[in-house]
Structure formats: C-alpha cells, structure tokens
Amino acid sequence: MNSLATDLRIWNEVEHLLAADNGFVSCDKRGHGLSELGKAPHAIETHAPGGPRQAK
C-alpha cells in the first residue's frame, strides 16, 4: 500500500529492482492515486458488509 498523497507509481523503482525474483500486484485504493472514485453514494456497508465492528 502506498501512503497518503501518493499512488502506485511510488513502487515502480522497487519493482524494477526486485522483479527478477519476485512478482508484484500494484493497485491504488479506490478514489486515491490513479483510480476512479466509483459511483456514489458511498457508505461503510459498501466496503465492509456488516458495518463497523468494535474492538474487544
């Protein structure tokens, strides 16, 4: 995962250095980086069925 205000391209150099021995899957979180936001409205239930869980 990339940090706030960055996108998957931040990992390009690392991928090139390690590509001979490793495989990679790169993606941006929805609405961040180069990804699209998707259709509104957005709700927690859309992303986490069952709603928020409380820590025990």
Residue 52 confidence class, pLDDT cut points 50, 70, 90: low
**pLDDT tens string 33-50:** 777 777 777 777 766 666
Residue in the structure block whose two tokens are 């409380």? 54
pTM over 0.85: no
pLDDT at 1: 65
Query: Reduced to 3 states, what is the DSSP secondary structure of residue 4?
Result: coil
pLDDT at 29: 75
Residue 9 CB contacts under 8 Å (≥ 6 apart), including other chains = 33, 34
Give the start-to-end residue ranges of the domains of the chain.
1-35
Alpha-helical regions (H) of 1-56: 12-18, 44-47
Characterize 5-28 residue by residue with b for buried, 16 or more Cβ atoms within 10 angstroms of its Cβ, and e for exposed. Answer: eeebeeeeeeeeeeeeeeeeeeeb
**pLDDT tens string 8-39:** 888 888 888 988 898 888 777 777 777 777 77
